[in-house]
Structure 1
Amino acid sequence: MLWRTLPRLPADDTSAQSYARLVASTLAQFRKHADLRAAGITGGLFFGAFSVFWVGLTPLLGSPAYGLGPAAAGLFGILGLTGAMVAPISGRHSDRPGGPRRVLLLALAAVLAAWGLFAFGTHGLIWLILGVVVLDAGAQGAQIANQTRIYALDAASRSRINAVYMTQFFIGGALGTFAASHAWALGGWPAVVATGAAFSALALGLHAAWNPGRAKTLVA
């Protein structure tokens, strides 16, 4: 009924692109912005570390060390929400000049530190509880810093830039899931901890070594 009664007006979006051009322009953002590539790599790695923990947690809680069911892992998810309290703090500091780099450095260090706590995960739930809080706080801070960083690249292309970033982000998560499953099968919880720590250390190391000025020169 609405289709028949509403007036037919011409589209006034003169910037519309074909789907193929839209995809091409999205991929072009990856080539254009070295900082976007760097953010995607660190984002993928810390989300990989995040995924390693959650994949490994369920079999750990179900092991003879604890004898708990999958519902217990869900309760840990609720505990992780306490990390959301750092979001406003991370946001304020990320909005300052040079803020995203500093916040990301501290956040990635927190993600790595969480694995130091998880290393004692078979000796008591308290280590897992503390680790979850630190891991989630670090992941929240890192994501906010990364998104602040990439949204400043080109205001007119934010949706495409975000698409590129999130693609890298979820690829990292998938790799973390895959790695955690194999780590548990090969060496149980210690292997899971080593895998998560490796993802975290690589993210922190790459970010600490990242030189935006040099990268822009190479791209140019």
Structure 2
Amino acid sequence: MQNKPTLTKSLLWLITITTGIVVGNNYYNQPLLGLMAKDFQVTETAISIIAMLTQVGFAMGLLFIVPLGDMVQRKKLILSIFLLIIASLVGMVLAPNLPLLYIASFMVGFSSVVPQMLVPLTAELSTPEKRSSSIGMVMSGLLLGILLSRVAAGFIGDIWGWKAIYYIAIGCMIFLMVLLSAKLPDVHPTFKGNYRQLMHSLIHLAKTQPVLRLSAFRGALGFAGFSAFWITLVFHLEEAPFHAGSAVAGSFGLIGAVGALAASAVGKIATKVSTYNIILVSIFMLLASWIIFYFSGYTYMGLIVGVILIDLGLQSMHISNQSSFFALNIGATNRLNTVYMFSYFAGGSLGSYLASQAWKYYQWDGVVYTGLSCTLLVLIAHLWFGKKTIAK
């Protein structure tokens, strides 16, 4: 029997950095939507579809690509996916019209699923006592990548135009591909069936694992509200009283990074505080953020405090969700993560769509009501089912 590779500190850092950089591909467009709309001479509603399609693509990639990590050699699969990421990013900068940009945006999301193969890998290689803290570190890298990618895209877009960040991303993907080919360990698959059986097992896991179902529901609606905020923030800031551009919208990612870094402590306190209570406090943070956005969303201070809370709340709940179903230890980490993350980004896609419609008809107040409604549903589900499904 082959010995399992160990998760060294250097490998954990490589996984964390790779996760943060690759996930950024999905979020570069958000602070740049205004610039893209002007470049293609289309409405805000039409250009917002780009962000939605990226998230839909990501959800599809989670569903159809990530489960293969349990079936084929993971290192070879990850390196192959990097080639698809690079081709998709090239498509973004070369797209001559909006329909082709839609396709390229979908493919960027579809291919940028490597982080969701690295998170289960981290869980597998970690010792049980370090699993939560290791996942917390990787997830902090992921959320920092989401937030800081918006910062980079916003500032670079203001200076060199919206395509520049995608050229930089192409270079980063080539560099990471070379590095991972040298450093990533080989992990042999655990699933012995064919692809059809593999996909059918996703349905079986969803039916038979209540911990997974509840985690997926909380994650989906929590991320729906989160996406609703970030998709429309740039449009909100373009109007009175702010009259700000993409750089200011992107800079809010730096503020959100405070919440992401603070949430990394969740893994450390998980041994002292019950998962149920950690998630409950996280949901109340999300609710508080939407209340602040409603009453103080037309001030920079209100937005700053709300951003910290929404990022801290979502990240804390996200880490706790994943730790709870990875602890099932049933030899299906990629597939468990697939069900959860597919639901997560399906929720994000729904939130993006609802936010674009809410903005079109009701502006900022409509967005706040959308996010608040999603979060209230999360709270109800957690209070009703949480203690029945979470073991501790």
Compared CA separation, residues 122 and 89, structure 1 to 2 (3 A): closer
Given the superposition, is the C-alpha separation of residues 63 and 22 from structure 1 closer, same or farther in structure 2, using an over 3 Å criterion?
A: same
- Listed one character per residue, the Cα deviations across residues 140-182 of structure 1 (whole Å, up to 9, x for unaligned) are 1010110111111234111111110001101110110011001
Distance apart, 1:117 and its partner CA: 1.0
Match of 2:267 in 1: 91
Letter in 2 for 1:33: Q
1:95–1:67 distance in 2 versus 1, CA, 3 Å: same
CA distance in 2, matches of 1:213, 1:66: 46
Q: Which residue is equivalent to 1:158? A: 333
Determine the C-alpha separation between the residues in 1 that align with 2:243 and 2:365: 18
- Please say if residues 95 and 148 of structure 1, whose CA atoms lie closer than 8 Å, have aligned partners that are also in contact: no
1:179 correspondence with 2:354: yes
1:128 aligned residue: 303
Counterpart code for 1:201: L
State the superposition RMSD in angstroms.
2.1
3-state SS of the aligned residue for 2:244?
Answer: coil
Partner of residue 204, structure 1: 379
1:17 Cα shift? 1.9
One-letter amino acid of the counterpart of residue 259, structure 2: G
**Aligned positions of 1:1-220 closer than 5 A:** 16-96=192-272, 99-210=274-385, 213=388
Gap change, CA 1:125 and 1:171, over 3 Å in 2: same
* Whole-Å separation in 2 of the counterparts to 1:184 and 1:25: 39
Letter in 2 for 1:79: I
For residues 213 and 128 of structure 1, do their structure 2 counterparts lie closer, same or farther at Cα, with a shift above 3 Å needed?
A: closer
Structure 1: how far apart are the matches of 2:329 and 2:336? 8
| Secondary structure of 2:248 counterpart | helix
Structure 1: where are the runs of 5+ without partners? 1-11, 216-220
Distance 1:39 1:186, change over 3 A: same
Aligned equivalent of 1:5: none
C-alpha distance in 2 between matches for 1:111 and 1:211? 17
TM-score, normalised by the number of residues in structure 1: 0.86
Query: Which piece of structure 1 moves more, 70-79 or 150-159?
Result: 150-159
Unmatched 5+ residue regions in structure 2? 1-187
Q: Could you state the TM-score of these two structures normalised by the residue count of structure 2?
A: 0.49
**Contact kept in structure 1, 2:226 and 2:371, CA below 8 Å:** yes
Tell which has more relative contact order, 1 or 2 (C-alpha 8 A, sep 6+): 1
Residue deviations 1:33-88 (CA, integer Å, cap 9, x gap): 01111110010010001001101211110012211112211000111000123223
Question: Do the aligned residues in 2 keep the contact of 1:45 with 1:203 (CA within 8 Å)?
Answer: yes
Count of aligned positions: 204
* 8 A contact 1:83–1:133 mirrored in 2: yes
- Structure 1 contact 94–144 (Cα < 8 Å) conserved: no
Measured in 1, the distance between the counterparts of 2:326 and 2:190 equals 24
Alpha-carbon shift at residue 22 of structure 1 (Å): 1.0
Give the aligned partner of residue 23 of structure 2: none
Separation (CA, whole Å) in 2 of partners of 1:100 and 1:160 = 22
Please tell me whether Structure 1 or Structure 2 has the larger radius of gyration of its CA atoms.
Answer: 1
